[in-house]
Chain A
Amino acid sequence: MSLLFKNIVRFIFIMFFQIFVLNKIPPLHQFIVPYFYFVFILWLPFNIKRIPLLFISFAVGMVADMFFKTPGLHASACLLIAYVRPFLINLLLPKEATDWGNEEPTKNTMGAVPYVTYLIILTLLHHFYLILLEWMQFGSFLYFAGKLIATSLVSLLLIMIADLFLNRKSKLR
């Protein structure tokens, strides 16, 4: 399966899961909103160029916005993590990112600790920006902080479960 085809299929699956499964779950609390779709950006291969990465993320955000009915909100949060991603990978990995070829960030390719750090930082960044934009329209600081923490925890949990389930195959380093 070619890399492009694999990612297109993955994109469709992740979006369907977000829109028709996660968005239909009855709310547990005001603060808990399960966001999962942005994991598509985190799982793109290492050797992707920066400018295409920005455009892809923008498109991913816009598709999510179509269904959340908030044009621009998710797109701008996705852009932010797409911009930060290459810097973070360079920080966390000893080798140059382009040396990795078509590999994706997984527990095996990056090592468990750097991978989890990578997930936590980008998830927090994405949610921070997303909820900040929402907070500017209404809400108190308690709303902002509570939602940031609760939503990030739920997202991280979902990503970890997905990682266990999907068993994304990558060669050991």
Chain B
Amino acid sequence: MRNVFLFLKRYSVFIVFLVLQGLALSMLFSYNRFHQTTYGMFSNEVAGKLNKRVNKVESFFTLRDQNQALRKQNAALLSYLPSGSFIPDTSFLFVADTLAIDSLKSYRQYQYLDAKIISNSVFLQQNIMVLHRGSAQGIVPNMSVVGTDGLIGTVLGVSENMSVVMSLLHRQSKVIAVLKKGSGLGEVSWDGKDPRYLLLSKIPKTIVVKKGDTVVSSPYSDKFPPGLPIGYVEKIDQDQETNTYKLTIRTAVDFYTVQHAFIVKNLLQEEIDQLKSTVIKE
């Protein structure tokens, strides 16, 4: 027994080192798997508060650009207003409506929640943003995040008032995308080299691709609203080994200056998840 104590005393520094190192590494690896730990959520709130204060000053410098982007989006939205369109004259045709559901009315699938980006980075390999909206405002993980110009990322984890978002500039980010012209399902990822460019792979060579083509989110995703711009084709490379292109695309969103985002809530998400889980079970 005495020898044990002597051993502990002699190597106490090394033992403390090993214990703390083990703690740090276990935190690191469990975080990558589940994206959520108690430390993650606690630090999220604390760091978020500090970031929010500094961000107040920072946002001042990009006010002009933000304003312009919002004006542009406003103009696009105004053109959808009913006052800007006219109703076709169908009054002389009488149709007896036997449907219980109004088939002319469309139902809302996506709800947009405004959020401020309080911390953002572009220079790491796993870039993560923090938004000032959390579980108290109804945010849950896996919601998609869009900016005024296009897609930004996916919600990874939420705390009470903050949420952590994996931006497209994250080595583990994968988004299913299509070309606006000519369709063709592909996958958008990031190679970690330049935050202005993303990679689009798995587009078959049978599709004609031109420089400047728009890449949008796919209509088959249950997370992202379809047709949101992700980027524009910048460089076209042929993959020699497979029958697909390797496309470099310029991001639609300027990740350097982005300040505001919308978190998109899919109102049918629960139903989709339920259906999927029952089908997979059987």
Supposing A23-B123, A26-B122, A26-B256 touch, asked if A72 and B24 sit within 8 A by C-beta, the answer is yes
Q: Does A105 count as interface, using CB distance less than 8 angstroms? A: no
B35 to chain A, nearest CB (A): 10
Q: Does A150 count as interface, using CB distance less than 8 angstroms? A: no
A125 to chain B, nearest CB (A): 14
Seen from chain A, the residues whose Cβ lies within 8 Å of a Cβ on chain B are: 20, 23-27, 30, 33, 50-51, 54-55, 58, 61-62, 65-73, 75-76, 79-80, 83, 133-134, 137-139, 143
B61 to chain A, nearest CB (A): 11
Chain B residues with CB below 8 A from A69, complex form? 126, 128, 164
Q: Does B6 count as interface, using CB distance less than 8 angstroms? A: no
Chain A residues with CB below 8 A from B12, complex form? 51
8 CB < 8 A contacts A-B: A55-B16, A66-B47, A71-B27, A71-B37, A71-B43, A83-B13, A83-B14, A139-B192
The size of the chain B interface, using a CB distance under 8 A, is: 40
Partner of A27, one of B25, B122, B128: B122
Chain B residues with CB below 8 A from A79, complex form? 17, 20-21, 24
Supposing A30-B194, A79-B17 touch, asked if A134 and B39 sit within 8 A by C-beta, the answer is no
Which residue of chain B has its CB nearest to the CB of A74?
A: B24
Majority SS at the chain A contact face: helix
B152 to chain A, nearest CB (A): 16
Q: B13 to A137, Cβ gap below 8 A?
A: no
Give A143 to B171 CA distance when docked, in angstroms. Answer: 14
Q: Does B219 count as interface, using CB distance less than 8 angstroms? A: no
Q: Does B267 count as interface, using CB distance less than 8 angstroms? A: no
Q: A66 to B128, Cβ gap below 8 A?
A: no
A91 to chain B, nearest CB (A): 17
Q: A30 to B193, Cβ gap below 8 A?
A: yes
Q: A54 to B20, Cβ gap below 8 A?
A: yes
Supposing A69-B128, A71-B37 touch, asked if A80 and B195 sit within 8 A by C-beta, the answer is no
Q: Does B63 count as interface, using CB distance less than 8 angstroms? A: no
Which residue of chain A has its CB nearest to the CB of B192?
A: A30
Q: Does B121 count as interface, using CB distance less than 8 angstroms? A: yes
A78 to chain B, nearest CB (A): 9
Q: B125 to A76, Cβ gap below 8 A?
A: no
Supposing A54-B13, A61-B24 touch, asked if A26 and B124 sit within 8 A by C-beta, the answer is no
Chain A residues with CB below 8 A from B126, complex form? 69-70
Interface centre among B32, B37, B47, B125 (most CB of A within 10 A): B125
Supposing A76-B21, A133-B28 touch, asked if A67 and B47 sit within 8 A by C-beta, the answer is yes
Chain B residues with CB below 8 A from A76, complex form? 21, 24-25, 28
Chain B residues with CB below 8 A from A33, complex form? 123-124
Chain A residues with CB below 8 A from B32, complex form? 137
Supposing A54-B13, A70-B28, A133-B28 touch, asked if A23 and B121 sit within 8 A by C-beta, the answer is yes
Partner of B125, one of A55, A71, A138: A138
Chain B residues with CB below 8 A from A51, complex form? 12-13, 16
Partner of A58, one of B24, B39, B46, B128: B24
Which residue of chain A has its CB nearest to the CB of B19?
A: A54
Chain B residues with CB below 8 A from A75, complex form? 20, 24, 27
B9 to chain A, nearest CB (A): 12
Mask: chain B, 111-151; 1 = CB below 8 Å from A; 0 = not = 00000000101111110100000000000000000000000
